[in-house]
Amino acid sequence: MDANVRELSYAQAIQEAMAIAMEADERVFLMGEDIGIYGGAFQVTGDLVHRFGEDRVMDTPISELGGAGVAIGAAVTGMRPIFEFQFSDFATLAMEQIVNQAAKMRYMLGGNVSVPLVMRFPAGSGTGAAAQHSQSLEAWLAHVPGLKVLQPSTPHDAKGMLLAAVADPDPVMIFEHKLLYKMKGPVPEGHYTVPIGKSETRRHGRDLTIVATSIMVHKSLDAAAQLAEEGIDVEVIDLRSLRPMDTPAIIESVKKTSRLLCVYEGVKTLGIGAEISAAIVESEAFDYLDAPVMRLGGAESPLPYNPELEKAAVPQVPDIVAAARKLVCKEA
């Protein structure tokens, strides 16, 4: 990488995005448990309370339902809140507000109101936080019309998608994998946005399409590098946006490669891979398939605390390599 290119961690990129949004628009403010002096459960908010004050970086009581309700009310009345859940798992305590209120207000009031709300969800396994703090629940919210659901996989996209979300008139849910917070990458200075609803092809190939989300993008790229040594040329698509989904890009890739593997951390059953698979089966790409679509998702189990069991419960690079070999009929 060019030595002159600025690098930030994923967490730093998110913090910078929030600061830029707050500087540009006084309606933008932050809410969440321990995001003030403590700086957030994963230190993403950092020192923003010192820069913007407690009126705009607001510690909330330990009530996700109440906090979400306040954030939605603020959005409806003209503010632009960014609400942080300590763990994405705790969204279960606020589902009534998210699903029945934020997602439906524009529709139920005939388009006369908007809900310009951003919710941030630290998600995923790998930290030894066990079954109640390690889930990947993005497919739950992606099921709900009225919500937009994002999963940035790089620092560049974490910043750009958050800034796009703040500008959006509808509620946007952003799932941030906890293991990505320390990952560094190039991040442009200043304001820029990454479009909601557009995927990114991280690697071009001819033999197999892998559509991956979040941290699985990086595992898929590692697997693709190994497979290249065996003569298997893999295309890796970073989905980035679950709702709306960039289905046309996936269709075009599958028409080229004739094979599809969906890789995601959430539980396999009824996960995002099922929607991707159905989209291909219902499209013209179905006639191009040379093998059945394959899903590689999390185990049918709560996430274990034991680190080795935790790894075994979600796809790892060897699992992706093995699935790819099977699809192209070149099993080792």
What count of other Cβ atoms lies within 10 Å of the Cβ of residue 331?
A: 8
Q: Are 39 and 179 within one domain? A: yes
From residue 210, how far is each of 151, 201, 233, 308 by CA, in Å? 16, 10, 11, 25
Give the integer Cα–Cα distance in Å for 58 and 46.
13
In a domain, 2, yes or no: no
Q: Are 118 and 159 within one domain? A: yes
Select from 186, 210, 232 the last residue of a domain: 186
Number of domains in the chain: 2
**For 264-280, what is each residue's pLDDT tens digit?**
999 999 999 999 999 99
What is the extent of the structural domain holding 98?
Answer: 7-186
Q: Are 177 and 278 within one domain? A: no
pTM assigned to the model:
0.95
Divide the 332 residues of the chain into consecutive groups of 10 and give the mean pLDDT of each group.
Answer: 80 98 98 93 95 96 95 97 96 97 96 96 95 96 98 98 98 98 97 98 98 98 97 97 98 98 97 97 97 97 95 97 90 43
From residue 172, how far is each of 29, 59, 62, 68, 166 by CA, in Å? 15, 21, 22, 13, 8
Residues designated as active site? 64, 133
> Given this model, what pLDDT does residue 5 score?
79
In a domain, 15, yes or no: yes
Give the integer Cα–Cα distance in Å for 36 and 43.
10
> Given this model, what pLDDT does residue 2 score?
59
Select from 186, 217, 246 the last residue of a domain: 186
> Given this model, what pLDDT does residue 329 score?
80
Alpha-carbon dihedral 34, 35, 39, 44, rounded to 10 degrees: 130
In a domain, 194, yes or no: no
> Given this model, what pLDDT does residue 104 score?
97
Q: Are 41 and 167 within one domain? A: yes
> Given this model, what pLDDT does residue 55 score?
95
